[in-house]
Chains A and B, each alone.
Chain A
Amino acid sequence: MSEGQGTGAGPKLPREINTNVAHPARVYDYWLGGKDNFPADRALAEHIMEAIPTMRAMAAANRAFLTRAVRYLAGEAGIRQFLDIGTGIPTSPNVHEVAQATAPDTRVVYVDNDPIVLAHARALLTSQEAGETAFILADLREPKSIVDHPTLAATLDLDQPVAVMLVAVLMYFEDHDSPNPFEMVTTLLEPMPSGSYVAISHPTADFNAEAMGGAVAAARQSGVTLVARGQAEVEGFFTDLELVDPGVTPVLSWRPDEPPRDPRSAYYWAGVARKP
């Protein structure tokens, strides 16, 4: 197990934590039934739930996609290395637990920009003996700081395929940001060899424009950028990549364990693609 910091020179995590401002990781923790959240996080989570009363179930559906995608990647796709960006507060089953259940020698690098998440991750996300877990404190706003990070190089063999997990994280960036989220995906995949994968889930207004509009407005009021994207835009993240079946689908419909009753009841698009 190792850790590192993506931005700045020091090997240590930042000393100051800020719980007065909502952080997406802790907002999701609240929706997922966790207790590692603070008033600002709960206020935003509740505010969004006023617009989307089923938000807890949707967050669980998004998390279940992460599990299914990792199971597919570790199983059928034979992937042994994962780069999980926007890890969030650990919630069982975590990426390395799912992957190592199939392949105990799997290596996972977790990345988050919240020092609290990293403190939890390095304490709780301990690998099986045969594999490895490592942690990087970095911001997706600087994707180069992730791919160039010494901890990543020390943990992952970039001659072998890597699965990059971007589950419910690209929505925090606007199209006019620099780099924009499409460029972020490109930068992350750039050093990865052919046969690598990317898994993405992303909130959308396509299934319920009014509810999602309310959620976006609620987030904005708390100073959190939240961008809903349509199916074509989400498909745009996979440009030049080979989408695996069933393509970009509602998150509930992506290789479900059981066919969902109403696929459009969780407002995310999801997809997994292979780098040719």
Chain B
Amino acid sequence: MIESRAQGGGAPTVQRMLVGARLRRLRTEMGLTREEAAEAIRASEWKIHRLENGQVGFKERDIVDLLRLYEVTDPEEVAEFLALAREANTPGWWQHYGDVLPAWFRTYVDLEAAATLIRTYEGQFVPGLLQTDDYMRAVVHGAHLEDTSDEVGRRVRLRMARQTVLTREQPPRLWAVVDEAALRRPVGGKEVMRGQLERLVEATKLPNVILQVLPFGSGAHPAMVGSFSILRFPDQELPDVVYLEHLTSAIYLNKPDEVDQYLHVMEGICVRAAAPDRTVELLDEILEEL
């Protein structure tokens, strides 16, 4: 019913990549090889590879069999997954997740985990992957005043879990540019901010983290429109995905001309920002003036 074919070898839609990335995560969490998964759906290892890269459409029967193998049995969860797979088979170049936070945020986490390069520009905050627990708590609390502290704690845990991606084996490279304004705003108070800035100094020592500061001195710049991330995936056929997070939703873009525009803006920011080898010096300055 939901079978469809990749049209003419064209770029997979973001939704297909999302479903594929989630299948990959479920499989690896079970400690299964692609070969073992292939057996469950009477297919080749290559087919699993293509499914997980979002390069082919999804057959409902395959999804059901794989989910059973991955021990996803909650009927609601299965139904949600199938709905996502069905949607993924519908061509569309962007997807607007106006849903509750976990649903859209989890899809981002899946994509982030599948990425080999994460480029991000942040004008307001320290990038999520580099936030301290306390800083994150202050941000989440600030954005959701009505939330109970239980809810805040849950959101913080969800976001902290995401940071393990940077220290796993074969981690992705994070290339982040942060506006000086974000580094000077004492989110959560001076002590929280001090801890956060020290954390950033530590992060620059990770071989897979590149941090650049966009100083006030650079004046107006092309990304003043807002923060965004560009995710890159290992397979050559997979296009980059642009991710824009809003208060209640997120937008993913992978249409070539839109990705090109965001890539252009990102290159412009990286060229203007202070060189990565100046970051520690700039952070120390901000720490002193805090």
Contact = CB atoms under 8 A, between A and B. Distances in A.
Same complex: yes
Contact of B271 (A33, A119, A126): A119
Contact of B267 (A14, A19, A122): A19
B236 A33 contact: yes
Nearest to B119: A123
Contacts of B264: 17, 19, 38
B267 A123 contact: no
A39 B268 contact: no
B270 A119 contact: yes
Contacts of B272: 13, 15
B212 interface: yes
Given A17-B264, A38-B264, A122 B275 contact: yes
A35 B218 CA distance: 27
Which of B173, B257, B260 has most chain A Cβ within 10 Å? B260
Given A33-B236, A39-B260, A123-B210, A17 B275 contact: no
Given A17-B264, A35-B240, A122 B271 contact: no
User: A-B pairs with the 3 shortest C-beta distances?
Assistant: A119-B270, A123-B210, A1-B277
Contacts of A13: 271-272
B268 A35 contact: no
Given A19-B260, A119-B267, A123-B210, 11 more contacts: A13-B271, A13-B272, A17-B267, A35-B239, A35-B240, A38-B263, A39-B257, A39-B260, A115-B271, A122-B276, A123-B270
A16 B272 CA distance: 8
A90 to B, nearest CB: 11
Interface string B201-229: 00000010010100000100000000000
16 contacts: A1-B276, A2-B277, A3-B275, A13-B272, A15-B218, A16-B268, A19-B264, A35-B232, A35-B239, A38-B263, A39-B260, A115-B271, A116-B267, A119-B267, A122-B276, A123-B210
A124 B210 CA distance: 8
A36 interface: yes
Given A14-B271, A19-B267, A38-B264, A123 B276 contact: yes
B271 A17 contact: yes
B97 interface: no
A187 B28 CA distance: 56
Given A38-B260, A123-B210, A17 B276 contact: no
B94 interface: no
B105 interface: no
Contacts of A38: 260, 263-264
B70 interface: no
B175 interface: yes
Contacts of A15: 218, 271-272
